[in-house]
Structure 1
Amino acid sequence: MTRLYGQDPFSLVLVHGGPGAAGSMSILADNLSEEMGVIESLQTKLTIDDLIEELHQDIVGSTKNKVTLVGHSWGAMLSLLFTNRYPKIVERLILIGCPPLTPDFSEQITSNRFRRLSPYEAEMFNKHVEQLAKISDSVNAAESFKIIEELTYRTDNYSPMDLETIHRKVLFNPEVFGSVWSEAEKLRRDGKFSSILGKIKVPIFLIHGTFDPHPVDSVIQTMKSSGAKYTYIPIENCGHTPFFEKSISSEFHHLIQFISTFSTKPVKYTGKIPACGVYCGNCPSFTKEKNPCSGAEFNSEKCKRCKTFHQCCEKNGITHCYQCKIFPCTVFKTFSKRWLKHGQNFIQNQKIIKTIGEQGFLKLCR
């Protein structure tokens, strides 16, 4: 089952977590649909094999294009399993808040959460997780799902928007959780994810909030040991679900769009991002000269190549234009428009820099 957002071509597929939290990525889908076609896959099946096939049908029934899979939490794990089975359909993988892919660190999630709960709340959490596993008791399972959601809303997020907004389009299915998660844990214990990572040849982008209780070190360790081709993008002051965070939810989709529309990697850039938000890798002048400028933090004069400004507000401590209260101003918009033909969207670049920082942005472009 799918929800389609935006216009054809549909090249981005959102794979939600839970399991059983269908529609939980709708906020991200809404934001992305302003610029691109999005498929939001809603998981309904009760086995992982059936979920993989359901996702396949959702994709081939909506587009003939290769797609970027954006998997959140459990959806990141499902996206890996899907890509292993259907590698020709997937162009790249974006994994948001990926849980540990081996059993070694799985208990650390609970301990991280419990540090953010009272002893009574921790006891309630354990009780309802056990209740949720009893899928035959659907009434109590639904209530347990709700309580767990309320507790993880506090433990897993840094400064989230209100629950009513988050749950606006969510169709919780406790039965899917009870059936699928126990199977996922078995696959993790059996080393399934470690074994398939080395076979996945598409680029993997690992996005993880620094406040996320899911330990990212374990995922990175598994990626490294398997030889996976990955890029790690940490987001400061962010929890398990970046698109729920008040401070970055309105900018986060620019990061996803930027990653998902890579066709080829730009020329390696060894300098820094100028204040105007330029990444010069696709600039004809830069690629010819191969001599990057020193960047906004070191150069307050105009760029010698594109003849535009670097630091219009150095005296006010502004090194990137997104920091300005009138961003994007008329001058910036005019300047930005001229560079669209070179594949640079400086307004979008600024919003990405705001979300993941200068070094994070550089990492994407190398």
Structure 2
Amino acid sequence: MTKNKIRTEKYIKINEDKFYTVSIGEGEPIVFLHGGPGSEHRFFLPHVLPLANEFKLVFYDQRGCGKSHSFSDNYSMEDEVNMLESIHKRLGYEKISLFGESWGSMLALLYATTYPNRVNRILLTAAIGVTKEGFETFGVELEKKLSLDDKRKLLEFEEKLKVNEASLDDIFTILDPYYVFSSETLSRKDKTTFNQQSNEIIGKDITNNYDLTKKVDRLSQIPIQVAQGSHDMITPALVKELLIKKIPHARLVEIDQCGHWTVVECPEKMNEIAYNFFMG
């Protein structure tokens, strides 16, 4: 339980779009960036709530995700960076710290290379990398893990999905066990929504445009910690190649017996890492 239960929920309106935000606790702000693309802020809850004993935890649903609403199907990674900057301005702090998970780790790096003077510290988990290679590698490694029977079922559900005879839940029932080291830990994950359109739009932009190679020098003054599950699709060894070699001052810690969903599967360890890192 948190010592301070102050919780604020509100919508931020930007042009025609409304973005749902939640803040819990008081102190220096940590902004949480959810994955997907297409997931929502509730992925982090209630797992990271102990951090609200010392920090102000700020969550939001990205464009078209969760409780946020978008009236456009023409948006990009740049729009997500601009949205994060709008949230930063509303918070009123000179600097914010970022906690990015999976696609959120990419968004954290995109924001920090755009606004390096706005960022205090960055914690990345289930990290992908600094170019589209990591995004593509993730898909390749997931494909390798799938059993032949699950590959067959996925193809069937994907065809049925096209004619509304199946749902995304059917697909996630097959895929979710591959995101964790132990399938028993899936019971810890609350049911969340997923926006397939956001996934496809941002996914396409990542494939076409995500490359921070020439911008990583802008991160040189920002402390960066990477916490990666030992059995993630992007293993710690791959993270060294895809991220650490490009950002050599970033520190990597391996979480043993853990998959891609570190926050869900190993919350105590993640909170310990986060607390120690953000306390500086």
Normalised to the residue count of structure 2, the TM-score between the two structures is 0.77
User: In the alignment, which residue of structure 2 is the partner of 1:61?
Assistant: 90
User: In the alignment, which residue of structure 1 is the partner of 2:190?
Assistant: 167
Rounded to whole Å, the distance in 2 between the matches of 1:75 and 1:22 is: 11
Say if 1:255 and 1:161 are closer, same or farther in 2 by CA, change over 3 A.
farther
Pick the aligned partner of 1:152 from 171, 175, 183.
175
Comparing 14-23 and 58-67, the one that deviates more: 58-67
AA in 1 matched with 2:260: H
Deviations 1:282-327 (A, max 9, x none): xxxxxxxxxxxxxxxxxxxxxxxxxxxxxxxxxxxxxxxxxxxxxx
C-alpha deviation, 1:197, in angstroms: 1.8
Task: Indicate conservation of the 8 Å contact 2:35/2:102, yes or no.
Answer: yes
C-alpha deviation, 1:61, in angstroms: 1.1
Task: Indicate conservation of the 8 Å contact 1:68/1:90, yes or no.
Answer: yes
Pick the aligned partner of 1:176 from 192, 198, 219.
198
Within-5 A mapping of 1:259-298: 259-262=277-280
Within-5 A mapping of 1:191-340: 192-201=211-220, 202-245=222-265, 248-262=266-280
Q: Give the gaps of 5 or more residues in structure 1.
A: 263-366
C-alpha deviation, 1:122, in angstroms: 1.8
Whose strand fraction is larger, Structure 1's or Structure 2's? 2
Task: Indicate conservation of the 8 Å contact 2:134/2:242, yes or no.
Answer: no
Aligned length: 249
Comparing 152-161 and 48-57, the one that deviates more: 152-161
- Tell me the C-alpha RMSD between the 2 structures: 2.9
Rounded to whole Å, the distance in 2 between the matches of 1:215 and 1:106 is: 13
Q: Give the gaps of 5 or more residues in structure 2.
A: 1-19, 65-74
Percent identity of paired positions between Structure 1 and Structure 2: 21
User: In the alignment, which residue of structure 2 is the partner of 1:271?
Assistant: none
Which SS does the other structure have where 1:180 is aligned? helix
Say if 1:222 and 1:109 are closer, same or farther in 2 by CA, change over 3 A.
closer
Which SS does the other structure have where 1:3 is aligned? strand
Deviations 1:7-59 (A, max 9, x none): 2x342111010011012122334232233210012201642111111111122
Within-5 A mapping of 1:59-138: 59-104=88-133, 106-125=135-154
Rounded to whole Å, the distance in 2 between the matches of 1:141 and 1:10 is: 47
AA in 1 matched with 2:253: I
C-alpha deviation, 1:225, in angstroms: 4.3
2:36 is the alignment partner of 1:13: no
Rounded to whole Å, the distance in 2 between the matches of 1:153 and 1:41 is: 23
Task: Indicate conservation of the 8 Å contact 2:125/2:227, yes or no.
Answer: yes
Larger Rg: 1
C-alpha deviation, 1:198, in angstroms: 2.6
Higher RCO structure, 1 or 2 (CA under 8 Å, sep 6+) = 2
AA in 2 matched with 1:118: S
AA in 1 matched with 2:257: N
Say if 1:74 and 1:131 are closer, same or farther in 2 by CA, change over 3 A.
farther
AA in 2 matched with 1:219: V
User: In the alignment, which residue of structure 1 is the partner of 2:167?
Assistant: 143
Rounded to whole Å, the distance in 1 between the matches of 2:263 and 2:247 is: 29
